[in-house]
Amino acid sequence: SVQAHKEEDNPQNTMEVNGLTPMPDSYDYDLIVIGGGSGGLAAAKEAAKYEKKVMVLDFVTPTPQGSSWGLGGTCVNVGCIPKKLMHQAALLGQALQDSRKFGWQFTEEVKHNWMTMTESVQNYIGSLNWGYRVTLRDTKVTYENAYGEFVGPHTIKATNKKGIEKLYTAERFIIATGERPRYLGIPGDKEYCISSDDLFSLPYCPGKTLVVGASYVALECAGFLAGLGLDVTVMVRSILLRGFDQDMANKIGEYMKEHGVSFIREFVPIKVEQVEEGTPGILKVTAKSTTGDQIIEGEYNTVLLAIGRDPCTRKIGLDKVGVNINEKTGKIPVNNEEQTNVPHIYAVGDILQGKLELTPVAIQAGRLLVRRLYAGATLKCDYVNVPTTVFTPLEYGACGYSEETAVEKFGEENIEVYHSHFWPLEWTVPSRDNNKCYAKIICNIQDNERVIGFHVLGPNAGEVTQGFAAAIKCGLTKEQLDNTIGIHPVCAEV
Amino acid sequence: GKNEYDLLVIGGGSGGLACAKEAAQFGRKVAVLDYVEPSPRGTTWGLGGTCVNVGCIPKKLMHQAALLGSALKDAQHYGWNISQPVHHTWSVMAQGVQNYVKSLNWGHRVQLQDKKVKYFNIKGSFSDPHTVRGLTKAGKETVVTADNIVIATGGRPKYPAHIAGALEHGITSDDLFWLKESPGKTLPSFILYISLECAGFLTGIGLDTTVMMRSIPLRGFDQASHMSKKNQICFTTQQQMASLVTEHMESYGTKFLKRCFPAKVEKLKSNRLQVTWKNADLNTEETDSFDTVMWAVGRVPDTKTLNLEAVGVKTNSETGKIIVDDSEATSVPHIYAVGDITEGRPELTPTAIAAGRLLAQRLFGQSSELMDYDSVPTTVFTPLEYGCVGLSEEAAVQCHGSDNIEVYHAYYKPLEFTVSERDATQCYVKMVCLREREQRILGLHFIGPNAGEVIQGFALGIKCGATYPQLMKTVGIHPTCAEEVTKLRITKRSGLDATVTGC
């Protein structure tokens, strides 16, 4: 009956059959994944390994500025990948300066060309988009560039760019639609401001930029823009990097300040107006103090909003199938098997309530979920002690508890914090800051001085942190740390 | 009579200074003797030992200079407009490096002073088990007596004495880092990692560099054959890893003369050096001229002038190294040894420091903790770096049998190489595990940028008895190179293509 059903391929017939609850073996697919990002693609590819019939629906609603992109989700197109590459461009700018002290000679004046960088980055992303399409094809996963939404318990309506609608049914669904940047809701924000969704493909140099926000997205973008030689200001409502260890967050802010980024603290924009058109043009930003009545104004070529991200869960028909979402945040609560309140509907990635918004977490969750569904596996995604890195000019790697959270959970008298500043050897000859890099570990005195938090501020923080995360997974104690010999001379030996 | 000092340390290097400073913490009366016999070329340096003056520190800084050269090339792909051509000036680099090293010499002297450790710049030799005498540069004789003596005189580069002209015309790593002028077209002749590292950075700063090797790279590391299996440095028998490292160097511009044996070195009228060698494969004699010939054919322990025979300290007859037990004690009571000079230990700064500190704690601090030489991580700072911890694949097979081990591996591409169009063919990671239930990790090997930073944390994990499942449960940090370790799935046994493709 599935065969006959297929040959018809008539949406009308499908509707008729699906008017009632369809029989399991008459579904179009075993699994439909809504969202072709890190979590969605990992799940889809894994399911195909078990010879399941899988479909991936991916669609990018253009930004208010008109930016759009291909298959792969946030990480590949407007997240981790372009971010790290532009961060690398900024680091190379610093390397150029260092290299003179190491004997390299070239012209005094060195300028950066935004278009050269952006083109290279976009070309690489394009190759990844292409690669994903090829992989899906090779693994026989059906891919449609269409906007998916639920219209019935087992039915999805897929609308493509041209507005053509098709209906598909599946036994199970995985929602992996991710998030998009939030706007301020003030006059001029959607018309004149850009977000990270636009930045990485901006067809002109952003020039003098105001970054609004204090998230890692804000600080990372501000960091590399300044590193490329641009005049950058960050407007912060209250604290930096909410949710991260504040001691470390402040050190990151200090470093950025000392390296050319201006900060306007305790202000929020209330309107954005265009003074001059252009690429870039000139924008006037009016901002109000959060602690009083003071109003300030400033002019910038570009205003980049990085105040947070909202899940894409409100317009995908979840109400029609009864999937609960947190009304305030839009996030989907799931059990520890990534299952929503509707048994045959699952969710992975940034849209999950109470989980980390990271690519590797989404990938891990997606893969393990599919293995449980189709390969009889029982392993659940381990969300404990997930390491992360913020790629600010001075990079920050962390795993486990922040100092505040550790104190809150265990009590100040029960934790011991070991810390040290260090001077990377590579910074000595070019006389770079000798007291900025920093590392600290937080130990639980009552549990054999087990390491429950690891924080490092310095070059290659991600590379350094990864191995420590593995060690923390193995129950690392301070004694074992002390007994491990350092590799000399590297930053990680601190 | 009573001895003047509680502790006398002979040798002011990594191990010696660490031991002395630790002992001083316990309120003991400590003295340090340090003396640098000038190299045959006349090079000498200050307090701090090999690592600070002619080892790790200047090596890593010059390696960094070379890496920055690559960064300059990359930068253009990332949008930076730099005028061509770009030049490197040796003397600017050398001065920067030498100034930093001198600041460290100074720092060590200040530290000893602050901790009230007496420092003598004399070359000591034993008169009896508690007495050491030596001459200052001015010729004045000084006698020092101590309850306990620690020998930490380290090693110096070997010269191939049987090769005519080797001593007169060649230099070693002792001289390379202190050259005021560029070495020009250089021929480092080697067996050890030292040569690969030096050849690597010399190429990186634009010098025409050729490496002459007798056999297979990173093999025949003399000390390895005298080390117990337990202490084997992971990279000594790493055929695969060594090949990848040298392959990269070749594509990077370093020339290799494989299976060649130098016969003689002669000075030409132009002041250049003419080197003649035998090519074993072609059975021919070949010759070429170079500006500099650097020997890196091994290091020998600095024990000859200590007069160890007078006090009966036993050494290994082949290597000349001092034989010690698990507590760093020699065959003579109250005489100990730490660092490169000891038989069967890795020749690394961090192990010398740790051993020196623990020794002081046992002697003066009521500790009984012995040094653990197991699973010591290390890194070779070649242009494409190689970091490792634990057993090599060969050692694991030897210990457990190939049926009982599983090797996971992957060829990956660092994200930063994409835009700069760099070749990542040799970027590789491999993990050697036991096959049985727990799948404990025996060894981890990584070739790529920042290998040292990557390996350090995993070394901790291995110290904790990390298993393959635990590593797989560790979420990766994205995008980094280190995350590739947590993504290892393909085994060598499967024969499948181990190239990482996309996220």
Is the bond preceding residue A82 a cis peptide, omega within 30 degrees? no
| CB contact residues (below 8 A), chain A span 433-472, against chain B | 460, 462-471
Closest CA to A286 of A275, A196, A278, A183: A275
On whether the CB atoms of residues A272 and A186 are closer than 8 A, the answer is yes
Element (H, E) at B387: strand B386-390
Contact residues, chain B, for A88 at CB < 8 Å: 78, 415-416, 419
Contact residues, chain A, for B96 at CB < 8 Å: 101-103, 429-430
Interface test with A, best of B14, B74, B385, B460 (most A CBs within 10 A): B460
For residue B295, list its beta bridge partners: B189
Q: Decide: helix, strand or coil at residue A409.
A: helix
Closest CA to B180 of B271, B100, B95, B60: B95
For residue B300, list its beta bridge partners: B156
Task: Give residue for tokens 């903790």.
Answer: B369
CATH homologous superfamily for the domain A29-178+312-375: FAD/NAD(P)-binding domain (3.50.50.60)
A84 vs B64, B93, B479: nearest CB? B479
On whether the CB atoms of residues B444 and B388 are closer than 8 A, the answer is yes
> How many domains in chain B?
3
A77 interface with B at CB cutoff 8 Å: no
A34: tokens are 């809504």
Task: Please name the residues in contact with A293: beta carbons below 8 A apart, sequence gap of 6 or more.
Answer: none
Mean pLDDT of A264-276: 97
| Same-domain check for residues B403 and B476 | yes
Backbone angles phi, psi at A136, to 5 degrees: -65, -40
Per-residue pLDDT of chain B (503 residues; tens, 9 = 90+): 589 999 999 999 999 999 999 999 999 999 999 999 999 999 999 999 999 999 999 999 999 999 999 999 999 999 999 887 889 999 999 999 999 999 999 999 999 999 999 999 999 999 999 999 998 878 889 999 999 999 999 999 999 888 888 899 999 999 999 999 898 887 766 545 778 899 999 999 999 999 988 776 655 332 223 333 333 444 444 678 888 888 999 999 999 888 888 899 999 998 899 999 999 888 999 999 999 999 988 899 988 889 999 999 999 998 999 999 999 999 999 999 999 999 988 889 999 999 999 999 999 999 999 988 888 899 989 999 999 999 888 888 888 998 999 999 999 999 989 888 888 999 999 999 999 889 999 999 999 999 999 999 999 999 899 999 999 989 999 999 999 999 999 999 998 888 887 65
Element (H, E) at A86: helix A80-101
User: Three-state SS across B237-297?
Assistant: CCHHHHHHHHHHHHHHCCEEEECEEEEEEEECCCCCEEEEEEECCCCEEEEEEECEEEEEC
Does A130 have pLDDT greater than 80? Answer: yes
Q: Decide: helix, strand or coil at residue A152.
A: strand
Closest CA to B389 of B453, B428, B351, B444: B444
| Residue of chain A nearest B453, judged by CA positions | A464
Residue B370 lies in a domain: no
Contact residues, chain A, for B51 at CB < 8 Å: 488
Q: How far is A494 from chain B (nearest CA, A)?
A: 10
Contact residues, chain B, for A397 at CB < 8 Å: 477
Residue A253 exposure: Cα atoms within 13 Å on the Cβ side? 23
B89 vs A103, A358, A488: nearest CB? A103
| Residue of chain B nearest A493, judged by CA positions | B456
Backbone angles phi, psi at A449, to 5 degrees: 55, 50
Mean pLDDT of A259-281: 95
B57 interface with A at CB cutoff 8 Å: yes
CB-CB under 8 Å, A135 with B460: no
Residue B173 lies in a domain: yes
| Residue of chain B nearest A109, judged by CA positions | B82
Other Cβ atoms less than 10 A from the Cβ of B458: the count is 30
Backbone angles phi, psi at A111, to 5 degrees: -115, 155
Residue B69 annotated as binding site: no
Q: How far is B50 from chain A (nearest CA, A)?
A: 13
Contact residues, chain B, for A93 at CB < 8 Å: 75, 80
On whether the CB atoms of residues B156 and B302 are closer than 8 A, the answer is yes
B464 interface with A at CB cutoff 8 Å: yes
Other Cβ atoms less than 10 A from the Cβ of A486: the count is 20
B308: tokens are 């160890």
| Same-domain check for residues B291 and B327 | no
User: What are A56-85's pLDDT values in tens digits?
Assistant: 999 999 999 999 999 999 999 999 999 999
| Residue of chain A nearest B354, judged by CA positions | A485
Burial of B111 (0-12, 13-18, 19+ CB in 10 A): middle
Residue B500 lies in a domain: no
B501 interface with A at CB cutoff 8 Å: yes
CATH number of the domain residue B176 falls in: 3.50.50.60
B2: tokens are 């009573």
Residue B143 lies in a domain: yes
Interface test with A, best of B54, B106, B474 (most A CBs within 10 A): B474
| Same-domain check for residues B56 and B82 | yes
* CA dist., res. A114 & res. B91, Å (int): 34
B436: tokens are 């049985």
A365 interface with B at CB cutoff 8 Å: no
A404 interface with B at CB cutoff 8 Å: no
Does A483 have pLDDT greater than 90? Answer: no
How many CB contacts within 8 angstroms connect chain A with chain B? 294
A465 vs B83, B387, B457: nearest CB? B457
- Provide DSSP, A400-462: E--HHHHHHHH-GGGEEEEEEEE--GGGTTTT--SS-EEEEEEEEGGGTTEEEEEEEESTTHH
* pLDDT band, residue A494 (cuts 50/70/90): confident
Q: Diameter of chain A by CA atoms?
A: 77
Closest CA to A153 of A301, A298, A32: A32
With a pLDDT cut of 70, the percent of chain A lying above it is 95
Reported ipTM: 0.86
| CB contact residues (below 8 A), chain A span 26-65, against chain B | 38, 41-42
- Higher-pLDDT residue of B259 and A264 is A264
A98 vs B68, B349, B503: nearest CB? B68
Residue B49 lies in a domain: yes
Residue A214 annotated as binding site: yes
Q: What is the separation of C-alpha A146 from the centre of its chain, rounded to a whole number of angstroms?
A: 23
Q: How far is B489 from chain A (nearest CA, A)?
A: 13
Element (H, E) at A111: strand A111-112
Residue A330 annotated as binding site: no
* CA dist., res. A78 & res. A87, Å (int): 13
B409 catalytic, yes or no?
no
Contact residues, chain B, for A99 at CB < 8 Å: 65, 68-69, 71-72
Q: Decide: helix, strand or coil at residue B298.
A: coil
Q: Decide: helix, strand or coil at residue A453.
A: strand
Other Cβ atoms less than 10 A from the Cβ of B313: the count is 23
* CA dist., res. B465 & res. B472, Å (int): 14
Arithmetic mean of pLDDT over chain A: 92
Q: In this structure, which CATH number among 3.50.40.10, 3.40.50.1220, 3.30.390.30, 1.10.150.250 belongs to the domain A395-483?
A: 3.30.390.30
A338: tokens are 């990534």
Other Cβ atoms less than 10 A from the Cβ of A250: the count is 13
CA–CA–CA angle A431, A432, A435 (5° rounding): 115
B61 interface with A at CB cutoff 8 Å: yes
Contact residues, chain B, for A469 at CB < 8 Å: 457, 474-475, 477
Residue A439 exposure: Cα atoms within 13 Å on the Cβ side? 17
CB-CB under 8 Å, B378 with A358: no
In eight-state DSSP terms, residue A491 is G
Element (H, E) at A192: helix A189-192
On whether the CB atoms of residues A423 and A382 are closer than 8 A, the answer is no
* CA dist., res. B435 & res. B393, Å (int): 13
* CA dist., res. B392 & res. B235, Å (int): 6
Residue B304 annotated as binding site: no
Sign of the four-CA dihedral B99, B103, B109, B112: negative
Residue B373 lies in a domain: no
Same fold, A29-178+312-375 and A395-483: no
Q: Decide: helix, strand or coil at residue A349.
A: coil
Q: How far is B205 from chain A (nearest CA, A)?
A: 8
Q: Diameter of chain B by CA atoms?
A: 74
| Same-domain check for residues B152 and B163 | no
- pLDDT computed for residue A21 by the predictor: 52
Q: How far is B346 from chain A (nearest CA, A)?
A: 11
- N- to C-terminal Cα distance for chain B? 73
On whether the CB atoms of residues B67 and A98 are closer than 8 A, the answer is no
Is the bond preceding residue B449 a cis peptide, omega within 30 degrees? no
* CA dist., res. A198 & res. A78, Å (int): 8
| Same-domain check for residues B148 and B167 | no
Burial of A4 (0-12, 13-18, 19+ CB in 10 A): exposed
Burial of B83 (0-12, 13-18, 19+ CB in 10 A): exposed
- pLDDT computed for residue A2 by the predictor: 42
| Residue of chain B nearest A92, judged by CA positions | B75
| Same-domain check for residues B177 and B260 | yes
A462 vs B351, B458, B480: nearest CB? B480
Interface test with A, best of B67, B68, B77, B421 (most A CBs within 10 A): B68
B454 interface with A at CB cutoff 8 Å: yes
B74 interface with A at CB cutoff 8 Å: yes
Q: How far is A331 from chain B (nearest CA, A)?
A: 22
* CA dist., res. B307 & res. B92, Å (int): 42
Residue B204 lies in a domain: yes
- Domain ranges in chain A are 29-178+312-375, 182-307, 395-483
Q: How many residues are listed for chain B in this entry?
A: 503
CB-CB under 8 Å, B416 with A76: no
pTM of the model: 0.89
Domain interval for residue B332: 5-156+300-365
B145: tokens are 């007596």
A225 interface with B at CB cutoff 8 Å: no
- Give per-residue burial for B484-500: e unless 16+ CB within 10 Å, then b: bbbbbebbbeeeeebeb
Does A5 have pLDDT greater than 60? Answer: no
A80 vs B57, B65, B478: nearest CB? B478
- pLDDT computed for residue B135 by the predictor: 85
CB-CB under 8 Å, B350 with A493: yes
| Same-domain check for residues B216 and B329 | no
A104 interface with B at CB cutoff 8 Å: yes
Contact residues, chain A, for B463 at CB < 8 Å: 471, 480, 483-484
Q: What fold characterizes domain A182-307?
A: FAD/NAD(P)-binding domain (3.50.50)
Contact residues, chain A, for B205 at CB < 8 Å: 103
| Same-domain check for residues B71 and B132 | yes
- Higher-pLDDT residue of A219 and B164 is A219
Residue B357 lies in a domain: yes
On whether the CB atoms of residues A201 and A67 are closer than 8 A, the answer is yes
- Side chain identity at B229, as an amino acid letter? K
Backbone angles phi, psi at A94, to 5 degrees: -65, -40
* CA dist., res. B238 & res. B444, Å (int): 12
User: Three-state SS across B115-142?
Assistant: CCCEEECCEEEEEECCEEEEECCCCCEE
